[in-house]
Amino acid sequence: GAVVSQHPSRVICKSGTSVKIECRSLDFQATTMFWYRQFPKQSLMLMATSNEGSKATYEQGVEKDKFLINHASLTLSTLTVTSAHPEDSSFYICSAPPQGLKNQPQHFGDGTRLSIL
Q: Confirm or reject binding of residue 114 to another protein (CB under 8 A).
A: no
Q: Restricting to residues 68-87, name those near another protein by CB under 8 A.
A: none
In Å, how far are 13, 21, 42, 72, 84 from 18, measured between CA atoms? 9, 10, 24, 19, 6
Phi and psi angles of residue 88, each rounded to the nearest 5 degrees, phi first: -85, -5
Minimum CB distance to another protein, residue 38 (Å): 9
CA distance 34 to 11: 20
CA distance 60 to 51: 17
Q: Confirm or reject binding of residue 108 to another protein (CB under 8 A).
A: yes
Contact 56, 69 (CB under 8 A): yes
Q: Confirm or reject binding of residue 113 to another protein (CB under 8 A).
A: yes
Minimum CB distance to another protein, residue 24 (Å): 14
* Per-residue DSSP letter, 111: -
Mask: binding to another protein, 15-54, rule CB under 8 A, as x and -? -----------------x-x-x-----xxxxx--x-----
Q: Among 71, 75, 84, 111, indicate the residue that binds another protein (CB under 8 A).
A: 111
User: What residue ranges bind another protein (CB under 8 A)?
Assistant: 32, 34, 36, 42-46, 49, 91, 93, 95, 97-99, 101-106, 108-111, 113
